[in-house]
C-alpha cells in the first residue's frame, strides 16, 4: 500500500485490540480517550507532513529494498544525506507539534538492528539479517509506527539480570517451542507505545554468558496476546479532560509514556532478531543509543516553540524592548542552535557499516545528547523568567468565561493594551505546558533521561575520546620525544 495519510493512520489504530489501563481502569476506546488522543495526533503529524510537497525531501525516502517512496521513519539510512535529513526532520516535527511525536525510537531500533543482525550473521552464520529485511519490508509497505522497547525496569541495579531476585525485571526467554519462544518481563517509559502498530524489543545492557536468556530481540504486533499497557501519569494530564480550554497550553498535541508488560508472550521464530547471542547485546545497545541520541534534534524544534513563546509573552507584557529581555532571548537562541550543531555534526561525520547502513559518529552523538541534558533546562529557566509569575498563579479558563469573574480577569490580567487578555493567557499556558506540564515530560525530563541518563553519555564519551592522540600532539609541540 502507499504511504498512509493521517486519517488512515488513525483508522488503523482503531483496528487494534490493545489492552490499556489508566487510572485503575481498562481504556475501552484508546484512540478517542481525551488524555491519549493528543499524543495520537502528534504521531499523525508524521504522516500528514509526508504528503506535503514542501516537506517531501525531508519526510520521505526511497526504500533500498523495493525502490518505492516511503515515510522516512521506516527508512534505513543509506548516506550521510539521510542522516542529516533525519536531524532536520526531527527539528521540523518538534516545531510543528511542540512535544514528542513518538516515532523516532522505532526508526532508531530498525536502523540499529540493520547493523547488528548483519554482524551476528557474519560471526555465527545465522539468518537474522534476512529475517530482518523481510520484516522491514513489511513495515515499509504498510507504513507502520514502531515502538522501540529497550529500557527494562532493572530491579536491583547492583545485580546483573541473571542474579535478580525477580528474574522478570529484565525481559527474558522462559520457554522454547518448535514454533518460537515465550518471553516474560516489562519495558518501562515507553513513549508512544499505545499509538504504535508494532513493538520492537531489544536488550537494555551489555551482557555476559550467564545472561544469555536475556539477550533477545524481537518484534510483535502491539496487540499481541499477553501484552499489557499501563499508562504513566504526567503533570497536568487531567486538564485534557476539561475539553478545549486554554489551560491545556498546547491545544493540539501531546505525548504519553507507558509501562509495557509481557505476560508469557509467544514470539514466532521469523520475528526474532537475536536469540542468546549475548556478546552482541552491548553492540545493539550502543548503536541504538547513538542513533537515538542523534534523534534529540526534536528538542531543538520544541525549543524553537518555547523561544517563540517567550518572545511573544515579552511583547504582550510590554517588556520586549528591555535590554535584559533581549539578552535572554539571544542566549536561548544560542543554546538552541548549539544543540542543532550537535545533531547535524554527528550526522555529517557518519560512516558506512558493513551492512551498508550509515551510522552516526557515536562520540559526537553522545556529546550532542549530553548537551541536551543541560541546555533545555536553561532555555526553560529563561522562558519562565521572561514570562513572570503569572504563568503559575493565573486563574483558570473557566474563571475567564464566568460572568462573575471574567470581567475582573479581563481588567487585571491585561498588559499591552493592544493584546487581548485571552491571548496573553494562552501564551502563558503554552510556556507552562512546555516547562512544567505534560510537554515538560517530552522536553525536560526526556532531555535528561531519554536515550540514557547523563552518566551514560559520559561513559561513552570517555570510551570514544582518543586521549592518547591528544597527549601525543601535546608532547610533540613541546619537544618531548616519544619513548
Catalytic residue flag (residue 296): yes
Identify whether 298 is a catalytic site residue. yes
Separation of alpha carbons 4 and 42, rounded Å: 15
Q: Catalytic: 99?
A: no
What is the number of H-type helices and E-type strands within the chain? 19, 14
Q: Which of 96, 286, 315, 446 is catalytic?
A: 446
Residue 478 a catalytic site member: no
97, 151, 191, 329: which one is catalytic?
191
Q: Which of 88, 105, 71, 80 is nearest to 1 (CA)?
A: 71
Q: Give 162-179 as a DSSP string.
A: GG-SSGGGS-EEEEE-SS
Q: Is 104 a catalytic residue?
A: yes
Whether the CB-CB separation of 260 and 190 falls below 8 Å is answered with: yes
Q: Which position among 10, 96, 198, 257 bears the catalytic label?
A: 257
DSSP state of 441: I
Indicate which residue of 99, 146, 298, 343 is catalytic: 298
**124-133: Cβ within 8 A, 24+ apart:** 124/277, 126/277, 128/272, 128/273, 128/274, 129/355, 131/270, 131/271, 131/272, 131/273, 132/273, 133/65
- Grid coordinates representing 43 are 504521531
Question: Of 292, 312, 316, 435, which residue is the catalytic one?
Answer: 292
Stretch (H or E) spanning 337: helix 323-348
Indicate which residue of 99, 104, 146, 346 is catalytic.
Answer: 104
Which member of 135, 296, 316, 340 is catalytic?
Answer: 296
> Distances in Å between the alpha carbon of 369 and those of 23, 85, 434?
33, 18, 19
Beta-carbon neighbour count of residue 384 at 10 Å? 18
Q: Cα(128)–Cα(113) distance, rounded to whole angstroms?
A: 9
Cell reading at 180? 518460537
In whole angstroms, give the CA distance from residue 143 to residue 1: 8
The verdict on whether 292 is a catalytic residue reads yes
Report the catalytic residues. Answer: 100, 104, 191, 257, 292, 296, 298, 446
Amino acid at each position: 500500500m502507499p504511504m498512509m495519510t493521517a486519517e488512515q493512520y488513525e483508522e488503523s489504530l482503531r483496528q487494534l485490540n490493545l489492552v490499556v489501563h489508566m487510572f485503575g481502569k481498562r481504556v475501552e476506546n484508546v484512540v478517542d480517550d481525551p488524555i491519549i488522543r493528543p499524543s495520537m495526533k502528534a504521531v499523525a503529524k508524521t504522516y500528514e507532513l509526508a504528503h506535503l510537497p514542501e516537506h517531501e525531501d525531508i519526510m520521505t525516502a526511497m526504500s533500498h529494498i523495493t525502490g518505492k517512496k516511503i515515510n522516512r521513519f521506516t527508512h534505513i539510512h543509506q548516506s550521510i544525506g539521510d542522516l542529516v535529513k533525519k536531524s532536520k526532520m526531527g527539528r521540523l516535527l518538534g516545531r510543528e507539534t511542540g512535544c514528542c511525536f513518538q516515532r523516532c525510537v522505532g526508526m532508531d531500533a530498525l536502523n540499529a538492528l540493520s547493523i547488528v543482525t548483519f554482524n551476528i550473521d557474519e560471526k555465527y552464520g545465522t539468518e537474522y539479517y534476512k529475517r530482518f529485511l523481510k520484516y522491514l519490508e513489511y513495515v515499509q509497505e504498510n507504513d507502520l509506527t514502531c515502538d522501540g522497547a529497550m529500557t527494562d525496569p532493572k530491579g536491583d541495579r547492583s545485580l546483573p539480570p541473571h542474579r535478580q531476585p525477580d528474574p522478570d525485571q529484565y525481559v527474558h526467554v522462559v520457554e522454547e517451542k518448535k514454533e518460537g519462544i515465550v518471553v516474560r518481563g516489562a519495558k518501562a517509559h515507553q513513549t508512544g507505545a499505545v499509538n504504535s502498530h508494532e513493538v520492537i524489543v531489544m536488550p537494555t545492557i551489555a551482557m555476559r554468558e550467564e545472561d544469555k536468556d536475556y539477550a533477545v530481540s524481537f518484534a510483535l504486533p502491539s496487540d499481541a496476546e499477553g501484552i499489557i499497557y499501563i499508562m504513566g501519569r504526567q503533570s497536568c494530564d487531567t486538564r485534557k479532560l476539561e475539553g478545549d480550554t486554554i489551560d491545556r497550553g498546547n491545544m493540539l498535541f501531546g505525548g504519553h509514556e507507558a509501562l509495557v508488560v509481557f505476560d508469557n508472550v509467544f514470539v514466532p521464530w521469523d520475528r526474532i532478531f537475536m536469540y542468546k547471542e549475548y556478546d552482541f547485546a552491548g553492540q545493539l545497545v550502543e548503536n541504538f543509543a547513538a542513533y537515538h541520541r542523534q534523534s534529540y534534534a526534536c528538542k531543538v524544534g520544541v525549543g524553537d516553540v518555547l523561544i517563540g513563546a517567550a518572545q511573544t509573552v515579552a511583547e504582550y507584557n510590554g517588556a520586549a524592548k528591555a535590554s535584559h529581555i533581549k539578552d535572554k532571548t539571544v542566549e536561548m537562541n544560542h543554546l538552541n542552535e548549539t544543540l542543532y550543531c550537535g545533531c547535524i555534526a554527528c550526522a555529517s561525520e557518519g560512516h558506512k557499516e558493513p551492512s551498508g547502513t550509515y551510522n552516526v559518529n557515536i562520540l559526537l552523538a553522545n556529546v550532542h545528547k549530553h548537551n541536551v541534558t543541560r541546555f533545555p533546562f536553561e532555555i526553560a529557566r529563561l522562558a519562565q523568567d521572561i514570562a513572570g509569575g503569572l504563568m503559575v498563579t493565573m486563574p483558570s479558563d473557566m474563571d475567564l468565561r464566568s460572568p462573575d469573574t471574567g470581567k475582573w480577569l479581563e481588567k487585571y490580567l491585561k498588559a499591552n493594551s493592544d493584546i487581548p487578555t485571552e491571548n496573553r493567557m494562552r501564551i502563558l499556558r503554552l510556556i507552562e505546558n512546555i516547562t512544567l506540564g505534560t510537554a515538560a515530560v517530552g522536553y525536560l525530563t526526556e532531555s535528561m533521561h531519554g536515550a540514557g541518563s547523563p552518566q551514560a553519555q559520559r561513559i561513552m564519551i570517555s570510551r570514544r575520546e582518543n586521549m592518547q592522540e591528544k597527549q601525543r600532539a601535546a608532547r610533540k609541540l613541546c619537544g618531548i620525544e616519544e619513548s
